Homo-oligomer: A and B are copies of this chain.
Amino acid sequence: MTKDGGKKDNKAQQYGVTPQSVDFNDWYNEVVKKADLADNSPVAGAMVMKPYGAALWENIQRWLDDRFKAMDHESLVFPTLIPMGFITKEADHVEGFAPELFTVSKIGTEVLAEPYVMRPTSETIIGHMWSQWLNSYRDLPFLHYQWGSVFRAELRTKAFLRTSEFYWHEGHTAHADEAEARAEVRRLLDLYHEFCRDVLALPVVRGEKTASERFAGAVATYSIEGMMRDGKALQSGTSHYLGQNFSKAFDVKFQTREQKEEYAHTTSWAISSRIIGAIIMTHGDDFGLMMPPRIAPVQVVVIPVGRKDNFDEMVAEGEELAAELRAQGLRVKVDKREGVTNGFKYNDWELKGVPVRIELGPRDLEAGVVVVKNRNSGEKETLSRAEAVAGMPARLAAVHDWLYQRATDFMLSHTVEADDYATFKGKIEEGHWVRAFHCGDADCEKGIKDDTKATTRNVPLDDSEFFGERGEGACVKCGQPGAYGKRVIFGRQY
């Protein structure tokens, strides 16, 4: 990025996006808006997902939804409102969510005796329904999920990352025993990992959260954590083992095979619209977005390069080329806009991060060739039309691999080990993740957060492909023995 940095800065300036390298935060906000992903709304803390962002979210939903169903999960639709009394039934849960609740206290002109809250998450109302549906061990497992939005007040909002209303699926399952419930928690964590790695080209670390970072009401919380291009972490998905906490609060019990009464073991798990923030901040560059090909709303953009007298003809040719690409199952757009320059179009689609661009001009047409450029490369290639079409799936796969490799290299080169607190603090300050031993004490953890704004991201699983190796050492802060048998990841986070 240094080689032609000057040229890029000019281009960025010309196009009106602050380069990533100048101000990451401005870059993010400008790209979100200019790429048509989202806009601010007149509702405090809520965004509008615009067509390009909504299309991305729909692609994410379809892939995950197909997999949930293939794993025998059933979708349901629960109400958006929850009786206030439900939230207070699980002690940790209410403590975690009370400050963020949206309260509905009037319907029409009637003031409600017991208000409702707009769901911050649905464990409570689902628990209530399960208690009515569950009788025997034969009814289990319940493997449920729903798509929708939830509401948690945010003071400082940022599109996709922190909004008062956000979009997600929430999975909720109930099982006859702990082992099966824990296996479900792991199965979903692994699915999220696969989705990030193979579809979004996001390297993520699978691990368990420390106690102070657990979901309100959970026995154990697992997460996938990714590193953004400013070195901060983004928790990209979570999977919780809830033990019998919610089933006891909501009386979710059943008769066992041995005719005894037992409470169900429950789980919940989610990926939210935050993942779009992860895509933006992991893959972007000074020019704008870089969409991972398998989820990109537009995988290939065809730009007919004509003059006034032959533009229609070139558009028709472009449509034909697009049809050949679509016949391979690809998502293709032909840019037919008139009244804007080719240069404007190139910049626009680069900003939107479309993985591959094809330029089609009259002379190319005569010669039977097209000009192909990957979003992640400065090189234009002139290829025979047939070659360009036939090679497109492999080209997109190569872009995916390139993105995953770049992100992995970045994460690895911005993660360090530290065994003394001075080094720890320095590296956090530089925007790194730091791998360190920790005593497991919540107050000690809080001390680190107060000093550095860094929190524990997770304790990587033994079979995590990143940072999972076991080891022993003294707490980087207080010197007590490490609690986890391995280094914990610390970092600042979104």
Interface residues of A, Cβ cutoff 8 Å to B: 39, 41-44, 46-51, 53-55, 57-58, 74-83, 86, 98-109, 116, 118, 125, 128-129, 132-133, 138, 144, 149, 151, 153, 164-165, 167, 339
Instruction: Kindly list chain B residues whose C-beta atoms are within 8 Å of the C-beta of A164.
Output: 107
Whether B75 lies near A58 (C-beta < 8 A) is yes
A77 touches B54 (CB 8 A): yes
**Which chain B residue has the least Cβ–Cβ distance from A337?**
B138
Known: A39-B129, A128-B42. A48 touches B100 (CB 8 A): no
Report A319 CB to chain B, min CB distance, Å. Answer: 15
Residue numbers in B under 8 Å from A57 (CB-CB) = 77
| A333 to B267 alpha-carbon distance, docked (Å) | 27
Whether A103 contacts B106 by the Cβ 8 Å rule is yes
Q: Which residue of B lies closest to A146 (CB)?
A: B54
Once bound together, how far apart are the Cα atoms of A490 and B107, in whole Å? 32
**Of B39, B51, B153, the contact of A75 (CB 8 Å cutoff):** B51
Known: A80-B149, A82-B43, A83-B43. A75 touches B102 (CB 8 A): no
Partner of A105, one of B78, B80, B103, B153: B103
Q: How far is the CB of A333 from chain B (nearest CB, A)?
A: 12
Interface centre among A46, A55, A57 (most CB of B within 10 A): A46
Q: How many copies does the complex hold?
A: 2
Are A48 and B79 in touch, CB under 8 angstroms?
Answer: yes
Are B106 and A105 interface neighbours, CB within 8 A? yes
* Residues in B neighbouring A78, C-beta threshold 8 A: 41, 48
| A108 B99 Cβ-Cβ under 8 A | yes
**Secondary structure at chain A's binding surface: helix, strand, loop or mixed?**
mixed
- Cβ A41 vs Cβ B105 within 8 A: no
List of 3 A-B pairs having minimum Cβ-Cβ separation, nearest first: A49-B77, A46-B79, A51-B74
Complex Cα distance, B165 from A235, in Å, reads 32
- A-B contacts besides A48-B77, A51-B76, A98-B108, 17 pairs, CB < 8 Å: A39-B132, A42-B125, A42-B128, A43-B82, A46-B81, A47-B79, A49-B77, A77-B167, A79-B165, A80-B151, A102-B107, A103-B104, A104-B104, A104-B118, A107-B164, A108-B153, A118-B118
Q: Write out the residue numbers on chain B whose beta carbons fall within 8 Å of the beta carbon of A103.
A: 104-107
Q: Is the CB of A107 within 8 A of B101?
A: yes
In the complex, chain B residues whose CB is within 8 Å of the CB of A149? 80
B55 contacts A75, C-beta separation under 8 Å: yes
Instruction: Report the separation of the CA atoms of residues A39 and B132 in the bound assembly, to the nearest whole angstrom.
Output: 10
Residues of B within 8 A of A339 (CB): 138
| Closest chain B residue to A75, Cβ basis | B54
> Is B81's CB under 8 angstroms from A43's CB?
yes
CB distance from A173 to the nearest CB of B (A): 13
Select from chain B the residue with minimum beta-carbon distance to A125.
Answer: B42
A74 touches which one: B54, B80, B99 (CB < 8 A)?
B54
CB distance from A248 to the nearest CB of B (A): 18
Tell me, rounded to whole Å, the shortest Cβ–Cβ distance linking A108 to chain B: 5
The answer for the CA separation of A217 and B104 in the assembled complex, in Å, is: 26
A76: contacting residue among B46, B54, B82, B86, CB under 8 A: B54
Q: Are B108 and A100 in contact (CB under 8 A)?
A: yes
Q: Is there an interface contact between A42 and B86, defined as CB atoms closer than 8 Å?
A: yes
Contact status B77-A41, CB under 8 Å: no
Chain B contacts for A42, CB-based, 8 A? 83, 86, 125, 128
CA distance A55 to B75 in the complex (A): 7
Contacts of A165 in B (CB 8 A): 79-81
The distance from the CB of A80 to the nearest CB of chain B, in whole angstroms, is 6
* Chain B residues, Cβ within 8 Å of A58: 75
| Chain B nearest Cβ from A255, distance in angstroms | 14
Report yes or no: A76 in contact with B99, Cβ–Cβ below 8 A: no
Which B residues are CB-close (under 8 A) to A39?
129, 132-133
Instruction: Please give the distance in Å from A235's CB to the nearest CB on chain B.
Output: 22
Closest B residue to A76 by beta carbon equals B54
CA separation between A423 and B247, bound complex, in Å? 60
User: How many Å lie between the Cα of A106 and that of B98 in the bound state?
Assistant: 12
Q: Which residues of B contact A105 (CB under 8 A)?
A: 103, 105-106
Asked whether, in the complex, the Cβ of B77 is within 8 Å of the Cβ of A80, the reply is no
